[in-house]
Chains A and B, each alone.
Chain A
Amino acid sequence: MSTAGAASTVKERADLALNDEFLRKAVKFTTERLRNGKKQASDEHGNWDDWRERGRQIRLHTIAHLDYYLNLFADQARANGVHVHFAETSAEAVKLSLEIAQRKQAKSVVKSKSMVTEELHLNHELESIGVEAIETDLGEYIIQLAGETPSHIIIPAIHKNRYQVADLLSKEAGETLAPDTSILAGFVRKKLREKFLEADIGMTGCNFAIAETGSMVLFENEGNARMVTTVPKTQITLMGMERIIPSWSDLEVMATLLPRSATGQKLTVYMSGITGPRRDVDADGPDEMHIIIVDNGRSLQLGDPEFQELLNCIRCGACLNACPVYRHIGGHAYGGTYSGPIGAVLTPALNKNVGEWDDIANASSLCGACYEACPVKIPLHEMLIYLRRRKLEQGHGNAAESLGMKGFAAVMGSARRYSTLVKLGKLGQKLVVRDGGIRLKLGPLKGWNTYRVTPSLPKKSFRDQWGTLEQELRHGLQELDPAVKSRMEAIMRDRDSGGGNGHG
C-alpha cells in the first residue's frame, strides 16, 4: 500500500485526480511518450551530461549576476523601442496589463502559452474588465473552453480525450464536430485565424530574454506565438525576472536542452527571437510592444543557498514526465500553477508559505528521477527535503492540520470507512454538481474552486480500479532505471517498517 500511503498526504486533490481513469491513462501514456522521446533525443545528441553541465553553468552565472544582466536587458529592450515595466507582485503585473488593455481600448487579447499569466490568473482579470482573453495554443484553447487550468506544462489538455474535446468545440462551432483530431484542429485553425486578425493585443510569455541585445525568445510548435507577435498592433510580453541569458551564443545551449528535454525534438518547429516592435518600414509586427518583468516571489530565492538554483529552471517539464508520483496523479492534484516536482518546490517557494503547501512536498518518493531528468541539474529531490525540514522548523505542524491528517489517515487506513466516505461523496455531490463539475466555492473547496472546477466523482472510483493500477504501477516500476528502482524500493521498505517521514 505504499502508493496509497504517498497519495494520502496530498489530501483531497490527489484523491480527485486518482478517481479519473482517463486522466490516469492519459498522463501515463503522455509522460511515457515524452520521456522516451527525451531519452532518445539526448542519447542521439550525445555528451548529454556535458551539455547539462554547460546549461547549469550558464544559468548559475546569469542568476548570480542577475542585477547586471536584467538591468542590461531592460536598457537594451528600451533602446529597441520596447516599453519595459517592472512588477514586484502579481497584483502590480495585473494592474499594468489591464491598464495597457484599457488604454488601447482593447476588446480582445489573443494569448500564446504563458505560465506567468497563469500565475497571475490574468484571463480572469481581463474578463473582469470586459476584455475577451483567448488562449490560442490548441491545448490551452481546449481547457479554456472547459473552464479548467493546465494539467501539464507542455501538454496542457493531457487530461481530455477527443470525445470531450469534440463536445467542447461543437458547442463553440454551433454544429456537431466529429471526434477526429484533424477535423477538430481544422476547426480551431479557422476559428482562431479570425481571432488573430481581429485582436487588439497579442500577449505572450517568454522562454528566454537575451540581455546583450534586449531580445525575447519564444519556442513553440503550432505557430500561434508567431501569430500573436506578428498580427496584432500591440504586444504585451509577461516575463519572469529570471528568464535572462547573456547572449545569442548561450541560446544555442538552451535550444539544445529545452526541446529535447520537453518533447524529444531537436528543435521546436518555431524558435523566434523578437527584438523590439515593428520597424517603421516593416509591414507587419506590433506597433507598440510592452515587456512586463515579473518578480512575484522569484527574488525570495536569491541568496538562499538551498533554493537559489530553482531560478535556473527552463520550464521544460522533463521532471514531470520522470516523476512516478506525477505520472499517477496528474497535474491538477498539485493545486498550484506549476505541477510535478518543480511545482512541488516552486509553489511554496514563490508563495513563501511552506506550511500551506508542504503536503505537496510529501507527494514525492524522493527517488531523484527529477534531478536526473533536469537539463540544468536542479537538485529538486534535495529541495523537497529542505522544504519538509523547514516546515518542521517553523512549527507549521499545526493542530488543525494534524487533525486533518489524522482524519485522512484514519479514512485511508480502513477500506470500509473509505468506501463509505466515497459513497457519501457520490450522494452529496449531487447537490453541487453542475455540467459534470463542481463550481461551489464553500468550505474546503473555496481555494480550489476559485479558479477551477472540481471534477465530479465518477461512478467507478479509483479504488474500484486499484487492481489494474497496481499492475500498471508494478509494470512501470520495472521500466525504471535500476539505480532509481533500488532507491525507491529502499524507501518502500523503510515505510513498511514504520520508518521514513512518518506521514501517511
Chain B
Amino acid sequence: MANQAESHDEWLKQLAEDSKRKQESFMNGIAQKLKRPRVMEAPKHPFRGAPDFWQSFEWPLEERMDRFEENFKSAGGHVARLSDMDAAKQFIAEKAVSLSARYVIRQNQPELNELGLEEALQGTGASVRVWNSDADENWKARAAEADFGVVVADYAAAYTGSVTVLSSKDKGRSVSLLPTVMFVLIPLERLKTRLGEILIHFDEAGREQLPAGIHFISGPSRSADIENDLTIGVHGPGVVYALLIG
C-alpha cells in the first residue's frame, strides 16, 4: 500500500512538471494568436462587477424579508418568520413530530450548539448527530441517511431568494445536500439585498481564506427534464425551510 501511495505521489509530481511546461506554451500560444506579447501584469479591468447603478441598490429590512420570502416560496421553498432561536427550536421539533423524523444531522455551529435541539427532540424518537464530532465516523453516510439537515446560513440574498452556506471542519457540505428535508436558519442581520453584497466578501478575503465549498441555495432540488413537468427533490433536499430569525 505504501509503495502504491508513493508511486501515485510521484506520478502526480510528474504530471505537475508536465503541466507547468505546458502552461508556458499554452499561454505563449494565446499571446501569439492575439498578436501581441504576453500580458504579465494585471490589466486594468474597467468593467469589474455589476453596473454602477446596481452597486448602491439596497432594500430596507422589511422589504428584504418580504422579497426573500416571495422568491424562496416561488421556487418551491417554505419560509417562516420567527422571533428568536427558541421559536426556531420549537418549529423544527414540531416538524420532527409531524413528519416522523428519526435521524437529524446538524452543523457544529455555535448557534446550533446553544439551540438545545437535542433536548427538544427527546422522546420524539428522533436522534441528533453533530457533523464531524467524531473523527472515526463516516459523516457522508450519516448525512445521507438523515431525514433532517439543520444549518445556519452565512449569508442570504433577498433579490434572488438565496441562502449562502460555507464549508469548514464544522460545517459539512453534505448537511445541506443529502438529507430529505433541510432547515436553514437565517439571522436577519445576514440577510442582504443583492448577491453582490455577498460575493464581494470572497474577493476581499482572497484565495487563502476561502473555504473549499461555497454554496448558494435557492429552494428545493428540482428538475423539468421529463416532459417539462416540474419534479421536486431529484437529488438534493425536496423540502426546504428557510427560517428568518429576529
B208-246, CB < 8 A from A: 210-229, 231, 233-237
Q: Given known contacts A266-B161, A266-B218, is B39 in contact with A61 (CB within 8 Å)?
A: no
Cβ contacts under 8 Å, B47 to chain A: 54, 57-58, 61
Asked if B97 is at the interface (CB within 8 A of a chain A CB), the reply is no
Distance in angstroms from B201 CB to nearest chain A CB is 8
Asked if A227 is at the interface (CB within 8 A of a chain B CB), the reply is yes
Q: Given known contacts A86-B26, A275-B211, is B236 in contact with A249 (CB within 8 Å)?
A: no
* A276 and B212 form a contact (CB under 8 A): yes
Cβ contacts under 8 Å, A281 to chain B: 168-169
Which residue of chain B lies nearest to A221 when distances are taken between CB atoms in the complex? B222
* A251 and B199 form a contact (CB under 8 A): yes
* B235 and A224 form a contact (CB under 8 A): yes
> Can you list 21 A-B contacts with CB-CB less than 8 angstroms, sorted by A residue number?
A66-B34, A68-B43, A70-B27, A138-B223, A139-B226, A160-B226, A224-B234, A230-B173, A246-B48, A249-B49, A256-B195, A266-B71, A267-B218, A270-B215, A270-B217, A282-B132, A283-B132, A283-B140, A284-B139, A285-B173, A299-B29
Asked if A395 is at the interface (CB within 8 A of a chain B CB), the reply is no
Encoded as 1 (CB less than 8 Å from any B CB) or 0, chain A from 200 to 234 comes to: 00000000000011110000011110110111000
A43-99, CB < 8 A from B: 47, 50-51, 54, 57-58, 61, 64-68, 70-71, 74, 76, 78-80, 83-86, 88
Task: Report the stretch among A187-195, A356-364, A492-500 that lies at the interface.
Answer: A187-195
Encoded as 1 (CB less than 8 Å from any B CB) or 0, chain A from 3 to 36 comes to: 0000000000000000000000010011001000
* A231 and B228 form a contact (CB under 8 A): no
- Cross-interface CB contact of A253 among B31, B49, B200, B224, cutoff 8 Å: B49
Interface residues on B, range: 35 or more
Distance in angstroms from B184 CB to nearest chain A CB is 13
- Cross-interface CB contact of B39 among A67, A139, A165, A250, cutoff 8 Å: A67
* B207 and A223 form a contact (CB under 8 A): no
Q: Given known contacts A61-B47, A275-B207, is B236 in contact with A270 (CB within 8 Å)?
A: yes
Which residue of chain A lies nearest to B8 when distances are taken between CB atoms in the complex? A103
Q: Given known contacts A68-B39, A249-B49, A284-B172, is B220 in contact with A272 (CB within 8 Å)?
A: no
Cβ contacts under 8 Å, A78 to chain B: 16
A276-311, CB < 8 A from B: 276-279, 281-285, 293, 295, 299-300, 302-303
Asked if B206 is at the interface (CB within 8 A of a chain A CB), the reply is yes
Dominant secondary structure at the B interface: loop
Q: How many residues of A contact B (CB 8 A)?
A: 101
Asked if A481 is at the interface (CB within 8 A of a chain B CB), the reply is no
Asked if A429 is at the interface (CB within 8 A of a chain B CB), the reply is no
Q: Given known contacts A86-B22, A189-B233, is B212 in contact with A282 (CB within 8 Å)?
A: yes
Q: Given known contacts A222-B221, A270-B215, is B168 in contact with A66 (CB within 8 Å)?
A: no
Q: Which of B45, B132, B213 has the largest count of A CB atoms less than 10 A from its CB?
A: B213
B29-44, CB < 8 A from A: 29-31, 33-35, 38-43
* B217 and A269 form a contact (CB under 8 A): yes
A193 to B178, CA, bound (A): 9
Asked if B127 is at the interface (CB within 8 A of a chain A CB), the reply is no
Q: Given known contacts A86-B22, A155-B224, A213-B210, is B31 in contact with A67 (CB within 8 Å)?
A: yes
Known A212-B203, A249-B199, A275-B213; 6 more pairs at CB < 8 Å: A84-B23, A161-B227, A185-B234, A266-B71, A274-B213, A284-B143
Asked if A349 is at the interface (CB within 8 A of a chain B CB), the reply is no
A165 to B224, CA, bound (A): 13
A213 to B218, CA, bound (A): 24
A229 to B50, CA, bound (A): 28
Cβ contacts under 8 Å, A138 to chain B: 223, 225-226, 231, 234
Which residue of chain A lies nearest to B50 when distances are taken between CB atoms in the complex? A252
* B174 and A68 form a contact (CB under 8 A): no
Asked if A273 is at the interface (CB within 8 A of a chain B CB), the reply is yes
* A272 and B139 form a contact (CB under 8 A): no
* B213 and A272 form a contact (CB under 8 A): yes
Cβ contacts under 8 Å, A231 to chain B: 140, 174
Asked if A182 is at the interface (CB within 8 A of a chain B CB), the reply is yes
A246 to B22, CA, bound (A): 22
Asked if B144 is at the interface (CB within 8 A of a chain A CB), the reply is yes
Cβ contacts under 8 Å, A324 to chain B: none
Cβ contacts under 8 Å, A137 to chain B: 225
Asked if B15 is at the interface (CB within 8 A of a chain A CB), the reply is yes
- Cross-interface CB contact of B235 among A67, A156, A189, cutoff 8 Å: A189
* A222 and B49 form a contact (CB under 8 A): no
* B43 and A61 form a contact (CB under 8 A): yes
Cβ contacts under 8 Å, A285 to chain B: 167, 173, 212-213
Asked if B2 is at the interface (CB within 8 A of a chain A CB), the reply is no
* A269 and B202 form a contact (CB under 8 A): no
A250 to B196, CA, bound (A): 9
Asked if A367 is at the interface (CB within 8 A of a chain B CB), the reply is no
* B231 and A185 form a contact (CB under 8 A): yes
- Cross-interface CB contact of A156 among B39, B49, B225, cutoff 8 Å: B225
Cβ contacts under 8 Å, A88 to chain B: 26
* A192 and B235 form a contact (CB under 8 A): yes
Asked if A248 is at the interface (CB within 8 A of a chain B CB), the reply is yes
A224 to B221, CA, bound (A): 9
Closest 9 CB pairs of A and B: A223-B236, A139-B225, A249-B49, A281-B169, A223-B235, A302-B33, A57-B47, A273-B214, A68-B39
